[in-house]
């Protein structure tokens, strides 16, 4: 079955630690995205990548980093510079053009 897999489902981080969220897709999509959702808010774009080895900052990239070494993988690192990392993180992918983005089931990150 084709889809997007995010792991882990729940993640806990101590203050001052970096943590990496995994996102893998087997849909052969060129574009991949990371969003953050906070209670009562819409999805806000952190980073996106339209092709391998290339990515762009979204609206709230500060305190985050990404890599796109393979077409199917787009990991997100939440660094210690992100002052309010507790949120629900969603990864998505799409073909280019007028095609809908398809989402994984998310990772909920909490600070201990």
- Contacting positions for another protein (CB under 8 A): 4, 6, 31, 33, 35, 40-45, 48, 50, 58, 88, 90, 92, 96, 98, 100-106, 108
Judged by beta carbon, residue 5 or residue 18, the one nearer another protein is 5
Judged by beta carbon, residue 17 or residue 96, the one nearer another protein is 96
Give the DSSP letter string of 32-98: EEEEEE-TT--EEEEEEEEETTEEEE-SS-TTEEE--SBTTB--EEE-TT-S---EEEEEEEE-SSS
Q: How far is the CB of 16 from another protein (least distance, A)?
A: 27
Q: How far is the CB of 112 from another protein (least distance, A)?
A: 20
Q: How far is the CB of 99 from another protein (least distance, A)?
A: 9
Q: How far is the CB of 71 from another protein (least distance, A)?
A: 17
Beta carbons of 7 and 22 less than 8 angstroms apart = yes
Residue 1, strand partner residues? none
Beta carbons of 23 and 105 less than 8 angstroms apart = no
Judged by beta carbon, residue 71 or residue 95, the one nearer another protein is 95
Judged by beta carbon, residue 58 or residue 63, the one nearer another protein is 58
What region, left, alpha or beta, does residue 63 occupy, with left being phi > 0 and alpha being psi -120 to 50 degrees?
left
């Amino acid at each position: 079955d084709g889809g997007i897999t995010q792991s882990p489902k729940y993640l806990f981080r101590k203050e001052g630690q970096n943590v990496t969220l995994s996102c893998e897709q087997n849909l052969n999509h060129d574009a991949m995205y990371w969003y953050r959702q906070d209670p009562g808010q819409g999805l806000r774009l952190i980073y996106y990548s339209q092709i391998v080895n290339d990515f762009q900052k979204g609206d709230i990239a500060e305190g985050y980093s990404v890599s796109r070494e393979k077409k199917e993988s787009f990991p997100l690192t939440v660094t210690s510079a992100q002052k309010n990392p507790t949120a629900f993180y969603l990864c998505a992918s799409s073909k280019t053009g007028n095609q809908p983005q398809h989402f994984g089931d998310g990772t909920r990150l909490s600070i201990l």
